Amino acid sequence: MAINLGEPSYDDAEFEAIRQVFASNWVAGQGPTSRRFEESFAQFCGANGSIALNNCTAGLHLALLALGIGEGDEVIVADYTYPATGHSVLYAGAKPIFCDVRPDTWTIDVSVAEGLITPRTRAIIAVDVAGQPADYEELHALVEGRDLALIQDAACSSGATYGGRRTGSPWFADVSLFSFHGRKGITCGEGGAATARDPEVLAQMRKLSCFGVESALARQGSTSLPIPVFDDLGYNYKLSDIACAIMEAQLAKIDALLAHRRHIAARYEELFSTCDLVRTPRVGPNREHAYQTYTLTLDHSVNRDEVAMQLRARGIGCNIGTFASHVQPIYGKTQSCPVSADQWTRHLAIPMHANLTDADAQEVARNVIELVTTTRK
Ligand SMILES: Cc1ncc(COP(=O)(O)O)c(C=O)c1O
């Protein structure tokens, strides 16, 4: 039996939610179901509002636009991330400046970020790598008194906490962006959401997500014929009401899904404690990890790629952790981020989802330990 790297957790609740949204006839985006989901998601995060979007990358793009960032601006981006983060800066016409990450939690190294600030720097994008919040207290101290926006790439960290606050609360950043892609803790296949500290920034993002005009639902209350006027170059970044119905069902069970992931993480921690060639993830102080991905750091002597191929051959899903952005040709390869570059070659993501059993975790650990011990460089 294969043990998958990631799996969604769906049951009758999602099917019932889809049935209801079909019956309502509003299946496109920014309708009544979207509105309800946006309210629930904002409440979950402790935010003053949220927008449902077609993915997190679109949200990052809109955040930069709504904050007025574009041509001639620099944005400091945590290097160890899916390149969606860096791409969004290019979409906005600005320049990503990649910042190295911490060797223990793999989140942005705030002391390195300070040295990258120039008169052109307009924002910092911190990434909650694999579902762990970055060092927001240090980031707040860094941006304070400087004209710098802070953006939280919370693609992987729905339901993670820092100081008891859930990601996406206004405490974290000017704007927070989430992903509901199929491998995330809660998912509708492809999807995303945004929260923002300033309601005007969120309103501008909403407008830009709907071609630059008010949504059809907002126009419905008008007493005259509401003909929209296109005065802004908006995009079509809406999430369908079908997807939002699935997300409502997912959000209703997020606490149980997270608890199960944390349970599996604790099992892995125990199971790998006997193997010196493997380091399990470190969690920074004052925070709760969402474990969107469970990433092992393999010893330098282990052939990570060969271990991964052999695990897959045995039916155990695995992958690299995530990417070192600065080495990707699209960004010009002009920077050095040695910690991120090292992790990129040594990290191994192993199965993590809410359908795993203790026996699965044991089987994964047994195979990984056997392979890292025998598959050396
Ligand atoms: C850190 C990070 N940011 C952004 C994204 C992009 O998310 P989406 O696929 O929803 O656009 C991902 C996707 O995996 C991610 O891991």
pLDDT digits (tens, 9 = 90+) for 70-95: 999 999 999 999 999 999 999 999 99
pLDDT of residue 224: 81
Domain boundary (210, 234, 252) is at: 252
| Ligand 1 center to 255 CA (angstroms) | 21
The model's confidence at residue 1, banded by pLDDT at 50, 70 and 90, is confident
Residue nearest to atom 13 of ligand 1 (CA): 82
pLDDT of residue 285: 96
For residues 179 and 155, the answer to whether their CB atoms sit within 8 Å is yes
Q: Assess whether 276 and 213 both reside in one domain.
A: no
For residues 32 and 24, the answer to whether their CB atoms sit within 8 Å is yes
Q: Assess whether 186 and 94 both reside in one domain.
A: yes
Helices (H), 287-337: 304-313
Q: What ligand 1 atom has the least distance to the C-alpha of 59?
A: 11
The model's confidence at residue 182, banded by pLDDT at 50, 70 and 90, is very high
| Angstrom distance (rounded) from CA 49 to CA 123 | 22
User: CATH code at 283?
Assistant: 3.90.1150.10
Ligand 1 binding pocket includes 155 (Cβ within 6 Å): yes
Strand partners, 238: 53
Report, as an integer, the average pLDDT of 189-203: 98
pLDDT of residue 290: 98
Residue 288 included in any domain:
yes
| Total domains in the fold of the chain | 2
pLDDT above 90 as % of the chain? 94
Domain boundary (202, 228, 252) is at: 252
Q: Assess whether 235 and 283 both reside in one domain.
A: no
Paired sense of beta strands 149-153 and 51-53, if any: unpaired
The model's confidence at residue 334, banded by pLDDT at 50, 70 and 90, is confident
Q: Assess whether 59 and 171 both reside in one domain.
A: yes
pLDDT digits (tens, 9 = 90+) for 279-303: 999 999 999 999 999 999 999 999 9
Residue 234 has pLDDT above 90, yes or no: yes
Residue 198 has pLDDT above 90, yes or no: yes
pLDDT of residue 339: 98
| Angstrom distance (rounded) from CA 98 to CA 330 | 13
The model's confidence at residue 144, banded by pLDDT at 50, 70 and 90, is very high
pLDDT of residue 42: 98
For residues 195 and 50, the answer to whether their CB atoms sit within 8 Å is yes
Ligand 1 binding pocket includes 133 (Cβ within 6 Å): no
Report, as an integer, the average pLDDT of 126-145: 98
What 3-state class would DSSP assign to 165? Answer: strand
The model's confidence at residue 214, banded by pLDDT at 50, 70 and 90, is confident
Distances (CA, A) of 283 to 23, 266, 307, 354: 45, 12, 25, 20
User: CATH code at 247?
Assistant: 3.40.640.10
Q: What ligand 1 atom has the least distance to the C-alpha of 60?
A: 4
Domain boundary (252, 275, 310) is at: 252
Q: What ligand 1 atom has the least distance to the C-alpha of 128?
A: 1
pTM score: 0.97
Domain limits at 205? Answer: 12-252
pLDDT of residue 222: 76
